[in-house]
Amino acid sequence: MALQKGLQNLLKVTPPIFKKRLERNLVLKCRRHVHSSCALTAKLKDPPSVKKPPDGLPVFQYIGKQTKRVNKVFVWGNAATGALGIPDFLDPPPRKHPRMQQSVPYCLQDFSQEARTASCGYGFTVLTSSKEKGKVWGTGVNTESQLGLQKAVRSTHEGARTVILDYVIAPAPVDLPLTNPQETQVLQVACGRAHTLILTDGEGVFSLGNNAYGQCGRPVVENEEYRGSSQINRVRIEGKVKQMAAGLDHSLFLTEEGEVYSCGWGADGQTGLGHYESEHRPTKLLGDMEGEKITQVATFADCCLAVSEKGELFGWGNSEYNQLASVTETTQVNVPRLLPFDYVGKAVQVAVGGTICAVLNDQGQVYVWGYGILGKGPNLEETPIPEQLPEALFGQNDFNPDVTVKEIKAGLNSFAAVTTSGDLYTWGVNKYGCLGLGHLNDQYFPWRVSLPGNVITVDCGVDHMVAVIKSLL
């Protein structure tokens, strides 16, 4: 106490010009305790008067009349390929180091206002916009022209010259051959290993990138050079397509009539056409789905799932990790099979990764199966039949009893789920921080991602994710 009073008196007589310096540098050590100048200064000042509001007085939060919620894009995960679309990560300002990974969501400032949807490929990202010009944008790996022909002018000792970009580090527009660009809107994009599918509302489906197995829905050209290609193909399908899914090297198309068409690589039966050959013509799938109206299809690697209007599940393709073990003892299924999972309730959505699967029912409950980090802790690594994830893991509790999951997605080894409250939860293998949780550890059960707004949609890649959120300016 005597020491503290002495210091207080010292501060009183110290000239103002030296007082701040003394307060800043003063550190007192008294046996077990360390008192900084901040603590000492706080004691010297009179405590501010605080008026507490009367009990029961309502608290209102106001925002400006002109403030509006806008769509923003957030990215995270592996930055080395350019898939995050942040130029400063790979081409940093002076005295800054390149950033090869981003473990927390980062706002894609240059592409936010008009964002609609996004899709993650293998090291690249494709975004959609409602703008009249530049409806589709791409960033990341472009070695197979999966982002279209992208060029840049470079200065050399011989003068300026145009070069083909194998890697795009900021979102660049993909020039679609639209007949009516003023009115045509892009509804969805789907990305595979090295090809991209683009669905429009009035001009059908476009495809670009690698077509070595017919995954772009056009004949395979032997020894075709894909690098630097400007070819964008219009896919011909019977019926109007309403949803698409892209696997490694195959494509699925769902029509408004509820029919599924496929093309591309079929070595694992992933085309579902009853054989193991590649097929460049989009062909209708039959099997157990014949006569059923399908409402959604999903694929990522070589396993495929579909949901019917009745809420039934169908599967085909690769089953090396027991994804389809409920209907086969083999590792491949080349026709759609009805999966005997009635106990999960009426299915409304499915998601499938490399070895992992998930289904969402009409009650907002999530079931998982397959092999890998499934979301029920480290003890559940493999199961051939779906197991439910506790609803409490997605924020449902006594204070939020109505919170349920409304969307599920899967990457190669990771899951993402969006809830009715607009929150995003991720779990799985956390390579390069692709779960967006601020660390690099694998996550064995769903964990909420911190984002400044309500999540509209999310998509997962091999090692990166993209979310479109509704945020405040």
The CATH number that applies at residue 462 is 2.130.10.30
Is residue 53 assigned to a domain?
no
pLDDT at 4: 52
Do 230 and 118 share a domain, yes or no?
A: yes
Do 39 and 87 share a domain, yes or no?
A: no
pLDDT band at 15 (very low <50, low <70, confident <90, very high): low
One DSSP character per residue, 121-188 reads -SSEEEEEE-SSS--EEEEEE-TTSTT---EEEEEETTEEEEEE-SEEEEEEE-----S-TTT--EEE
Q: What does DSSP assign to residue 51?
A: P
Distance CA 124, CA 168 (A): 9
Do 79 and 189 share a domain, yes or no?
A: yes
Is residue 63 assigned to a domain?
no
pLDDT at 32: 38
Q: Please state the rounded mean pLDDT for residues 334-350.
A: 98
Domain range holding 389? Answer: 70-472
Is residue 329 assigned to a domain?
yes
Do 316 and 402 share a domain, yes or no?
A: yes
| Global confidence as pTM | 0.85
Do 156 and 81 share a domain, yes or no?
A: yes
pLDDT at position 276 over 50: yes
Is residue 320 assigned to a domain?
yes
Is residue 380 assigned to a domain?
yes
Please, are residues 233 and 223 in contact by the beta-carbon 8 Å criterion? no
pLDDT band at 395 (very low <50, low <70, confident <90, very high): very high
Average pLDDT, the chain: 89
pLDDT tens, position by position, 242-260: 999 999 999 999 999 999 9
pLDDT at position 303 over 60: yes
pLDDT at 131: 74
Q: Please state the rounded mean pLDDT for residues 277-304.
A: 98
Do 309 and 199 share a domain, yes or no?
A: yes
pLDDT at 318: 98
Which of 153-162, 293-302, 446-455 bottoms out in mean pLDDT, i.e. has the lowest?
A: 153-162
Do 125 and 18 share a domain, yes or no?
A: no
Do 372 and 442 share a domain, yes or no?
A: yes
Is residue 51 assigned to a domain?
no
Is residue 148 assigned to a domain?
yes
Neighbours of 50 (CB within 10 A): 5
pLDDT at position 16 over 80: no
Do 126 and 247 share a domain, yes or no?
A: yes
Q: Give how many domains the chain has, as a whole number.
A: 2
Do 282 and 219 share a domain, yes or no?
A: yes
Do 16 and 93 share a domain, yes or no?
A: no
* Nearby residues of 55 by Cβ (< 8 Å), 6 or more positions away: none
Tokens of 443: 């996550």
Helices 2-13 and 37-44, packing angle to 10 deg: 80
SS3 237: coil
Do 215 and 147 share a domain, yes or no?
A: yes
Is residue 211 assigned to a domain?
yes
